[in-house]
Amino acid sequence: MTAGTMARKAVGVPIHGWLVLDKPLGLTSSRAVGAVRRILGAAKAGHGGTLDPLATGVLPIALGEATKTVSWAMAAQKAYRFTLRWGEARDSDDAEGKVVAESPVRPDAAAIEAVLSRFIGRLCQRPPAFSALKLAGERAYDLARNGRAVMLAPRLIEIMALHLINLPDPDHAEFEATVGKGTYIRALARDLGETLGTHAHVTALRRLSVGRFGLERAISLENLLSLGHSAAASVYLLSVETALDDIPALALTEAEAHRLRCGQAVTPLRPSDRARIDQLGDGATVCATTGGKLVALVKIAAGGLRPVRVMNL
pLDDT of residue 303: 85
- CA angle, 268 as apex, 264 and 271 as ends, to 5°? 175
| Confidence band, pLDDT 50/70/90 cuts, at residue 4 | very low
Name residue 243's beta-bridge partners.
none
Please answer whether residues 224 and 63 qualify as being in contact, where contact means their C-beta atoms are separated by less than 8 angstroms. no
Query: What residue type is 102 in one-letter code?
Result: E
Please answer whether residues 248 and 280 qualify as being in contact, where contact means their C-beta atoms are separated by less than 8 angstroms. yes
What's the whole-number average pLDDT of the chain? Answer: 89
pLDDT greater than 80 at residue 100 = yes
- Residues marked active site are found at 52
Distance CA 271, CA 275 (A): 6
Surface-to-core class of residue 263, CB atoms within 10 Å of its CB (0-12 exposed, 13-18 middle, 19+ buried): exposed
pLDDT greater than 90 at residue 2 = no
List, in order, residues 6 or more apart from 7 with CB less than 8 Å away.
Answer: none
Q: Which of 11-15, 48-52, 89-93, 113-117 has the highest mean pLDDT?
A: 113-117
pLDDT greater than 60 at residue 232 = yes
pLDDT greater than 50 at residue 243 = yes
Distance CA 133, CA 234 (A): 35
Distance CA 52, CA 47 (A): 13
pLDDT tens-digit series, residues 62-82:
999 999 999 999 999 999 999
pLDDT greater than 60 at residue 6 = no
* Percentage of residues in the chain having pLDDT higher than 90: 70
**Nearest by Cα to 191 from 180, 182, 201:** 201
| Confidence band, pLDDT 50/70/90 cuts, at residue 144 | low
Distance CA 43, CA 46 (A): 11
Provide φ and ψ at 131, rounded to 5°: -140, 170
Distance CA 255, CA 257 (A): 5
